[in-house]
Structure 1
Amino acid sequence: MKKIKKRDQEYIKQNNLKMILDIIKDKRPISRAEIVKIANMSPTSVSRIVGSLMDLGLVKETETYSNGVGRKAILLDLDLESVITIGVYINKHIINVGVVNFGGEILYKDKIDLNPKDIYPDILIKKACGLINDVIKNSKIDSSKVIGIGVSLPGIINSKNGEVIFSAPLNWKNIHIAQAIESELNIRTIVDNDVKLKALAESLYGVGKNSGKTALVNFGKGVGSALIINGEIFRGVTNIAGEIGHITIDPNGILCECGRRGCLQTFIVEDNLIEEANKVKKIVDIEEIFEEARMGEDWAVSILERAVTYMCVTINNIVCMYNPDTIVVSGSLVEAYPEILKEVEEKCKTFIWAPLRGTFKILYSELKSQSDIIGPSTLASNTFLSFDI
């Protein structure tokens, strides 16, 4: 019984440390008195926990302020350089690596472009490890402060054992990428789905910061979504929740990269829009379709209008399933052509199921491509940060 009681006490202590640290991260800089109100704890308990976080080097005292009554209060902030994580984003075109501090700020980043022969697992992992080493060296950080690496990539991921179960864009199956990187670099590594981690970054550091229930939808080379509830990723039983791009819209439709026909994303993804445009005119990239639409070409306008319609279908489905207070729209399609978001907002006014109209905000990603690095680095920080004291 004594051992059980000791474990319970340790669990409560660790949870309290994490809770107070999360409050400081979210509200920084903040006074002890404000923490007492938010945490609903006694001033003595808060002071003790803050002292422990300061002993760990995670929190420091900063400037003072006065509300005009009584003595000045000392504010608390993170020691931004106390914890460093590495964020890695991989898709079939690029490896993007960044060094991120404890406040979610990218200190240094670099990337390498890929060609199709590079995406074989052994080759790509070797390239990723080389780039990680280069970034750590070139950033001139204290490498002893690096507590972990987070890897973000498209596909079905078992984040518990670091395995890519299936990634259609990379054509990978059952690849233990986290273990491979960890063995090569001797740095603890975790991997997860790219859209889930974009949503995590946006909810903590972007436009979803003040939202209790944020749904992010990503439009680009694929279509995916993720839900963050009070700062936690909603995963489902096997970490596949949010794969809205593979909802079947037309069983006899276009063949999707997943091997099935008529998936929702086949009506929206850039490669399919380009392929459809080539039935009318030789088109190399999505920019040309937008240019033709701006010049009033009916075929280009029609392609983009249909894409907008299915983007609204996607948002409506997400809102019906999850009932979030915020929808964050992200991805290369809207980042490169933000004018399409105005069309989506306008069409959603009538397209969303009536009982749900006005219950949520549609916001544009604030972090944009930075979330590809901040998301996995945040996962690494959340996973590997130790509260041993």
Structure 2
Amino acid sequence: MPLSPTPELMRQQNRAMLLQAIQEQGPISRIDLASLLNLNPATITRIVRMLMDEGLVIEEGEGENKGAGRKPVLLRFNHRARLIIGINIAHHQMTGMVADLGGNPLSRRTLLLAKKPSAEALVDLTEELFSENPGFRQRLVTLCIGSEKHSMDTLYTLRTELEHQLGLPVSCYDQAVLAAVGEAEVGSMKEQPVFALFYLGHQSLSCLSINGQLHTGRLGLAADGRSLAAVVCEDGLMNAYQVANGSSPQPPLIFEAARNAAPAAVQAVEMMAAALAQAAAWVKHLAGIQHVVIAGPWIRSADPLLPAIRRQLAALTEEAPEIVPAALKTDASLIGAVYMAVRVADTTV
């Protein structure tokens, strides 16, 4: 015989339903909430009073009067009742952003890194973010971090240490996942439920976003059995240039040289484009992907790469996916960390 829900569980369920309704339907009146959720007005009044005491719901204006009497007071969700922090760790710096539960940025700071990132350095960054408004500290509920260069094992260690120091939940994800979330929420893929993202930089990763489900991995295999991720990365690009030129400058200089039609740089970029075209054709064949976003540090200076990928794709298949540069550019992972933190916070309010 199934157990009946306890009064406490029913109170929690009603609170969660009402808060979600205000988030999604607000501004909305108490009477409309009662009708929408099929709850009696007394229950609505009690839960709303509790949510207002917590600062999660505020009154805002008046609605239309559907009969005699006073106009109903409207309720809306207070996105600034709780705050989150998203952090992106790059090669020699880390950037953090304080945002509210709507993902709206409130403060942003960048600190230089003299050595490997540590929990202490991350705490220093949060203190910098709080300096704009010390009141942020009391409303902070969670953080999310990602790194362009460090392994997930390193991030897990940082997460554990940071949770211990701050006493708050911390999540961490690889850069491809975060960049995909950023582009899906407010970037080039906001209206596309299905797409792939290739994150290009120190190491290259891919992420498939299928109706909100994220699947991360490498770029696949080349025809000779090599990992495409081993070809399309900083070392791969510099090695390709070195074979043709004898030197190995950093990727931005190689892309700049390709922009100026230097033969060795053009050859190296074409090699990267061929590998990426193969990866894009593969995800199109595998999952019917129509859009592939190019993101990561290379997006700063890789404009010679995009037309090369499109050209190589056209030679591979007549049904090529669209190649799209990340609209958020190098901020895609930072914005993604913000929205990942918002998702965690939404489960705790």
TM-score by length of 2: 0.77
Whether 1:376 and 2:341 are equivalent positions in the alignment is no
Distance of 1:73 and 1:330 partners within structure 2: 48
Q: 2:216 aligns with which of 242, 246, 258?
A: 242
Cα offset, 1:299, TM superposition = 1.9
Whether 1:332 and 2:294 are equivalent positions in the alignment is no
Match of 2:309 in 1: 344
Match of 1:205 in 2: 186
Distance of 1:14 and 1:353 partners within structure 2: 53
Distance of 1:332 and 1:64 partners within structure 2: 48
Q: Deviations over 1:153-201 (max 9, x none)?
A: 35xxxxxxxxxxxxx8459569532221011122221222221122112
Match of 1:136 in 2: 130
Closer, same or farther in 2 for the Cα pair 1:83/1:228, shift >3 Å? farther
Distance of 1:244 and 1:353 partners within structure 2: 24
Matches within 5 A, 1:230-269: 230-231=211-212, 233-234=213-214, 241-245=215-219, 247-249=220-222, 262-269=226-233
Distance of 1:316 and 1:63 partners within structure 2: 53
Match of 1:220 in 2: 201
Closer, same or farther in 2 for the Cα pair 1:31/1:146, shift >3 Å? closer
Q: What SS does the aligned partner of 1:86 have?
A: strand
Distance of 2:49 and 2:204 partners within structure 1: 44
Closer, same or farther in 2 for the Cα pair 1:62/1:208, shift >3 Å? farther
Cα offset, 1:149, TM superposition = 1.0
Matches within 5 A, 1:347-358: 347-352=312-317, 354=319, 357=320
Distance of 1:314 and 1:274 partners within structure 2: 20
Q: What SS does the aligned partner of 1:307 have?
A: helix
Closer, same or farther in 2 for the Cα pair 1:364/1:74, shift >3 Å? farther
Between the two proteins, what is the percent identity of the paired residues? 17
Match of 1:185 in 2: 166
Structure 1 contact 78–102 (Cα < 8 Å) conserved: no
Q: 1:278 aligns with which of 226, 236, 242?
A: 242
Match of 1:298 in 2: 263
Higher mean C-alpha deviation, range 45-54 or range 263-272: 45-54
| Equivalent residues, number | 333
Q: Deviations over 1:116-155 (max 9, x none)?
A: xx22xxx62221222222222345443211111111135x
Cα offset, 1:8, TM superposition = 7.5
Distance of 1:169 and 1:378 partners within structure 2: 21
Closer, same or farther in 2 for the Cα pair 1:65/1:8, shift >3 Å? closer
Higher mean C-alpha deviation, range 278-287 or range 57-66: 57-66
Aligned partner of 1:297: which letter?
A: A
Cα offset, 1:264, TM superposition = 0.6
Distance of 1:324 and 1:287 partners within structure 2: 29
Matches within 5 A, 1:30-45: 43=36
Q: What SS does the aligned partner of 1:375 have?
A: helix
Aligned partner of 1:249: which letter?
A: A
Closer, same or farther in 2 for the Cα pair 1:285/1:130, shift >3 Å? same
Q: Please, which runs of 5 or more residues in structure 1 have no aligned partner?
A: 25-29, 67-71, 155-167, 235-240, 253-261
TM-score by length of 1: 0.70
Distance of 2:274 and 2:73 partners within structure 1: 52
Distance of 2:194 and 2:12 partners within structure 1: 27
Structure 1 contact 212–325 (Cα < 8 Å) conserved: no
Q: Deviations over 1:11-57 (max 9, x none)?
A: 86466457546646xxxxx7769xx9xxxx96465996996897464
Whether 1:364 and 2:330 are equivalent positions in the alignment is no
Structure 2 contact 202–235 (Cα < 8 Å) conserved: yes
Distance of 2:48 and 2:159 partners within structure 1: 35
Cα offset, 1:60, TM superposition = 5.4
Q: 2:144 aligns with which of 139, 150, 170?
A: 150
Q: Please, which runs of 5 or more residues in structure 2 have no aligned partner?
A: 65-70
Distance of 1:142 and 1:366 partners within structure 2: 29
Distance of 1:51 and 1:349 partners within structure 2: 58
Q: What SS does the aligned partner of 1:96 have?
A: strand
Structure 2 contact 299–329 (Cα < 8 Å) conserved: no
Whether 1:89 and 2:88 are equivalent positions in the alignment is yes
Aligned partner of 1:341: which letter?
A: L
Distance of 1:242 and 1:171 partners within structure 2: 13
Cα offset, 1:86, TM superposition = 0.7
Higher mean C-alpha deviation, range 104-113 or range 47-56: 47-56
